[in-house]
Amino acid sequence: MLPHTVQKNFVSTVRAVEAALGISVPSMSLNVSASFSNNFTAALNAASSSAVLTAEVQAALVDAVPILVEIGAQYNLQTVLEASSFQDQTRTQLTTK
């Protein structure tokens, strides 16, 4: 079983990604600028500097950006990861049991 801190950081990372995608997360406000609303990798990078996140979660978000950019370039998905508008879609939080 994972230690409590690892589980908490995992959930915080998922919530931060959801917030960067424009999904309302009542327990978290990252204050990501609206100018990033159509650029997921920029929004994720901006979210990584939020003071409400632990250093570990911030590092995970920062580390994810170049990976996503590389995947986008390799599979010609740049428009999906870097220019799609996530704010225009109604989405709900991921729920697990």
Q: Inform me whether the pLDDT recorded for 82 exceeds 70.
A: no
Q: Give burial (CB, 10 Å; 0-12/13-18/19+) of 11.
A: middle
User: Domain residues of the chain, as ranges?
Assistant: 4-25+35-83
For the entire predicted model, the pTM comes to 0.73
Compute the average pLDDT of residues 86-90.
49
d(CA 70, CA 51): 27
Under the banding of pLDDT at 50, 70 and 90, the label for residue 37 is low
**Residues 7-21 pLDDT 10s:** 999 999 999 988 888
pLDDT digits (tens, 9 = 90+) for 55-76: 999 999 999 989 988 888 888 8
